[in-house]
Amino acid sequence: MKQTIIDEVFLFQCSCCGECCSGNMDININLYDLYKIAQKLGFPSTEQLFHQKFVKLAEGQNGAWIPRINFRRKPFPFCPWLINDLGDDSVLRGFCSLHPQDKPLVCKLAPAGRIADLAGGSEQYVLTAPTENCPGMESCCENSLSELKKELRHELDFELRFFALLESMSGRGRDAYERIYGLDCALPFENQMRALETEFGIE
């Protein structure tokens, strides 16, 4: 899909059509996403998300194994946290049961996509339609990139640290990745993240 660089203002308003939560979508999530979703569902650890098939591991760039939402396949492909509801106007709408706090960062950012350069210490945001015919892209509603980044700052920081962790694990087998995705939901995320960074030599 076509991407344009976002400087500050971008136009978008979600219509709750649910299209970006269904179909053949590959939604990769980060380590903090796993943690907050598992806590939301009352799981003792993030491993339960894999055991109950909410999430699966998918091979990403440079041989890294990353968590991906495991879309249900019947009666059609859809996100396990999608709720379809027929409104009074008889229009079917899609809602996220994790909204607003616990949904994945990639979903919170949409339609803004983040491109991070770890080596250069820079990042760029691009406007990408969630789906080919997303009605939200036709909106005149203005959104501020700086305000969005401010609102999600700690999650964006956690994601950068997750990217650095994946980079440090380059060349390791799938078993190593499976181990880092087993977080204890009773312990603070920051403490567990620091322990992983220490283990893999990230200062």
Q: For residue 48, give the nearest of 76, 65, 67, 23 by alpha carbon.
A: 67
Query: What tokens does 44 get?
Result: 């003792």
Write out pLDDT tens, residues 34-88: 999 999 999 999 999 999 999 999 998 888 999 999 999 988 899 999 998 866 6
Q: Would you list the DSSP string of the chain?
A: --EEE-SSEEE-------GGGBSS---B--HHHHHHHHHHTT-SBTHHHHHTTSEEEEE-GGG-EEEEE--B-SSS-B-TTEEEEE-TTS-EEEEETTTTTTS-HHHHHTTEEEEEETTTTEEEEEEE-SSTT-GGGG---EEEHHHHHHHTHHHHHHHHHHHHHHHHTTT--HHHHHHHT--BTTS-HHHHHHHHHHHTT--
pLDDT of residue 62: 81
What is the bridge-based pairing of β-strands 9-11 and 3-5?
A: unpaired
How far apart, in whole angstroms, are the C-alpha atoms of residue 153 and residue 108?
A: 12
Question: Residue 93 burial by CB count (10 A; 0-12/13-18/19+): exposed, middle or buried?
Answer: middle
Nearest alpha-carbon partner for 203 in 172, 150, 161: 161
pLDDT in tens, 106-117: 999 999 999 999
Q: What is the pLDDT of residue 91?
A: 73
Q: How far apart are CA 174 and CA 66, in angstroms?
A: 10
Q: What are phi and psi of 22, to 5 degrees?
A: -145, 170
pLDDT, mean of residues 24-30: 94
Residue 37's nearest CA partner among 25, 26, 49 is 49
Q: How confident is the model at residue 3 (pLDDT cuts 50, 70, 90)?
A: confident
pLDDT at 94: 87
Summarised one tens digit per residue, pLDDT across range 144-179 is 999 999 999 999 999 999 999 999 998 888 999 999
